[in-house]
Chains A and B, each alone.
Chain A
Amino acid sequence: MTAKRQNSAKHATPQLPSIKVDESWRSRLREPAEPDPKKRVEAVRRAATRIKTTARIDTITLGRD
């Protein structure tokens, strides 16, 4: 969030935006690729070893600077 947005937030009046809820995603949920929770956890751990870099970046700003 930019400093400008933080500053404007001080003066914002919170309101519920008129947003239409669409829960159709529930019928589109993908079935688990792996029913065993332990193997699902292993998949996360493997995923975290795929990207090889020594650089660091601010992932909140997506590295925009």
Chain B
Amino acid sequence: MVTFDAPSWDPPAAVVLDTNVVAEALLPNEPEHRECLAVLERLADSGTAVLFSRLLEIELWEVIFNLALRERHPRKNLRHVRYDNRVRPRAARLLKQAHNAWEEYLRSPFAWTRIEMHGVAEFVPTLMQEYGFQSYDAVHAATLLTSGLTDFVTRDGGFAILPPALATLHTTQARLAGTRARRRRAGH
């Protein structure tokens, strides 16, 4: 387990990216925006190959749609206002901006590839069964494990359930202690 916002962080030859790091980097108001933008800059500056699941892009659109909901309903449970159709024009504008941001981002890695979900879907039930992952987290875990890589850039300490031999988690310094504690609780 390593921290990507530590000065000593050395980008690996290839990494798998998680949605929450990309979303945090592309949204300037988020609490770990600076750290996540910096890690994407480091990856761009290095010769690192970047892999990500198709699900990352779908989840990014979900974040953006929920932002539109949050703008209109700052204090409500978003599940209760999900189908408020007054939100949709604003959501459409934000989604367009997000598409542009993502396309711009894809100009930055030295090399990248998108892993389609149909290539990993058969392993999702196994990972849910073995580790208790929710289905969408299992898609990211399956993307990592089937790629033969171990370096996973994520802010989600939930992936600490994976044994260290399978996953080296790259996270923020602020999340390191909590992520380590989760790994200990998982018996690793």
Give A contacts to B, CB under 8 Å: 1-2, 4-6, 8-10, 12-23, 25, 28-34, 37-38, 40-41, 43-57, 59-60, 62-65
Contacts and interface: CB of A to CB of B under 8 A. Distances in A.
A41 B44 contact: yes
Contact of A40 (B19, B70, B110): B110
A14 B130 CA distance: 8
Given A9-B132, A29-B112, A62 B142 contact: no
A51 B163 contact: no
- Contact residues of A: prevailing secondary structure: loop
Contact of A1 (B101, B110, B158): B158
A53 B27 contact: yes
Contacts of B40: 44
16 contacts: A25-B113, A25-B115, A29-B111, A29-B113, A37-B44, A40-B44, A47-B25, A51-B28, A55-B68, A55-B70, A57-B63, A62-B23, A62-B62, A62-B66, A63-B69, A63-B70
Nearest to A63: B66
Given A53-B29, A57-B67, A48 B78 contact: no
Contacts of B92: none
A43 B104 CA distance: 6
Contacts of A23: 147-148
Nearest to B28: A48
Interface residues of B, number: 79
- Contact residues of B: prevailing secondary structure: helix
Contacts of A52: 94, 97
B186 interface: yes
Given A5-B133, A17-B127, A62-B19, A43 B163 contact: no
B51 interface: yes
The 6 A-B pairs at the shortest CB distance, nearest first, are namely: A1-B158, A63-B66, A50-B101, A47-B104, A59-B23, A40-B44
Contacts of B108: 33-34, 40-41, 43-44, 47
A56 B123 contact: no
Contacts of B15: none
Contacts of B30: 56-57, 59
Contact of B131 (A12, A28, A43, A59): A12
